[in-house]
Structure 1
Amino acid sequence: MTGVCVVGAGFWAREMHLPALAKIPGVKIVSVVATSEESAKVAAGPYGARAFTDLEAAVADPEVDVVDVVAPPDVHLPAVLAAARHGRHAICIKPLGRTVAEADEMLAAVAAAGTRLFYAENVPFIPALQEARKLVDSGQIGDVFRVKACEGIGEPHSPWFFDPVRSGGGAILDMAVHSIEFCRFFAGAPVASVYADAGTFRWADRTTAEDTAVLTLRFANGVIGQCEDSWSLAGAMDSRFEVYGTQGRVLVDNLHRQPLQAVSESAGWSYPLPVPGLLADGHLDMLTHFIDRIRDGAPSKSDGHVGRDVLAVVEAALRSVASGRREEVAR
Structure 2
Amino acid sequence: MTIGVVVVGAGFWATQMHLPALARIPGVKITGVVATSRESAEKAAAPYGARAYTDPDEAVQDADVVDVVAPPDVHLPAVKTAARHGKHAICIKPLARSLDEADEMLAAVEAAGTRLFYAENVPFIPAVQEAKKAVDAGRIGEVFRVKACEGIGRPHSDWFFDPVRSGGGAMLDMAVHSLEFCRFFANAPITSVYADADTYVWGDRTSAEDTALLTVRFGNGVLGQCEDSWSLAGAMDSRFEVFGTEGRILIDNLHRQPLQVVGATGWSFPLPIPGLLADGHLDMLTHFTNCIRTGEPSVSEGRVGRDVLAVVDAATRSLASGRRENVHHQSEGQSS
Query: Counterpart in 2 of 1:327?
Result: 325
The Cα offsets for residues 37-56 of structure 1, whole Å up to 9 and x where unpaired, read as 11001100100000001111
Please, what TM-score do these two structures have when normalized by structure 1? 0.93
The alpha carbon displacement at 1:223 in A equals 0.3
Q: Quickly say closer, same or farther: Cα 1:279–1:108, change in 2 above 3 A.
A: closer
Contact kept, 8 Å, 1:239 with 1:255, in 2: the verdict is yes
The alpha carbon displacement at 1:254 in A equals 0.4
Query: Counterpart in 2 of 1:7?
Result: 8
The alpha carbon displacement at 1:275 in A equals 11
Supply the RMSD in Å over aligned alpha carbons.
1.7
Contact kept, 8 Å, 1:96 with 1:307, in 2: the verdict is yes
Could you tell me how far apart the structure 1 residues matched to 2:161 and 2:273 are?
38
Query: Counterpart in 1 of 2:304?
Result: 306
Kindly report which structure 2 residues correspond to 1:60-99, keeping only aligned pairs within 5 A, or say none: 61=61, 63-99=62-98
Name the SS of the counterpart of 1:232 in structure 2.
Answer: coil
The alpha carbon displacement at 1:218 in A equals 0.4
Kindly report which structure 2 residues correspond to 1:165-184, keeping only aligned pairs within 5 A, or say none: 165-184=164-183
Kindly report which structure 2 residues correspond to 1:6-155, keeping only aligned pairs within 5 A, or say none: 6-59=7-60, 61=61, 63-155=62-154
The alpha carbon displacement at 1:257 in A equals 2.2
Greater CA drift, 166-175 or 275-284? 275-284
Could you tell me how far apart the structure 1 residues matched to 2:99 and 2:162 are?
19
Please list every run of 5 or more consecutive structure 1 residues that lacks an aligned counterpart in the other structure: 260-273
Could you tell me how far apart the structure 1 residues matched to 2:273 and 2:128 are?
12
- The letter for the 2-side match of 1:196 is A
Please, what TM-score do these two structures have when normalized by structure 2? 0.92
Runs of 4+, deviation exceeding 4 Å: 274-279
Contact kept, 8 Å, 2:21 with 2:276, in 1: the verdict is no
Query: Counterpart in 2 of 1:158?
Result: 157
Tell me how many residue pairs correspond in the alignment: 315
Contact kept, 8 Å, 1:127 with 1:278, in 2: the verdict is no
The Cα offsets for residues 121-178 of structure 1, whole Å up to 9 and x where unpaired, read as 0000000000000000000000000000000000000000000000000000000000
Could you tell me how far apart the structure 2 residues matched to 1:159 and 1:302 are?
28
Give aligned-pair identity as a percent: 78
Q: 2:287 aligns with which of 276, 289, 294?
A: 289
Could you tell me how far apart the structure 2 residues matched to 1:277 and 1:155 are?
19
Name the SS of the counterpart of 2:66 in structure 1.
Answer: strand
The alpha carbon displacement at 1:193 in A equals 0.3
The Cα offsets for residues 180-217 of structure 1, whole Å up to 9 and x where unpaired, read as 00000000100010000000000000000000000000
Contact kept, 8 Å, 2:276 with 2:282, in 1: the verdict is no
- The letter for the 2-side match of 1:283 is H
The alpha carbon displacement at 1:321 in A equals 1.0
The alpha carbon displacement at 1:323 in A equals 1.1
Contact kept, 8 Å, 2:11 with 2:70, in 1: the verdict is yes
The Cα offsets for residues 9-59 of structure 1, whole Å up to 9 and x where unpaired, read as 000000000000000001110000000011001100100000001111111
Could you tell me how far apart the structure 1 residues matched to 2:165 and 2:322 are?
26
Could you tell me how far apart the structure 2 residues matched to 1:282 and 1:170 are?
24
Could you tell me how far apart the structure 2 residues matched to 1:224 and 1:303 are?
24
The alpha carbon displacement at 1:102 in A equals 0.7
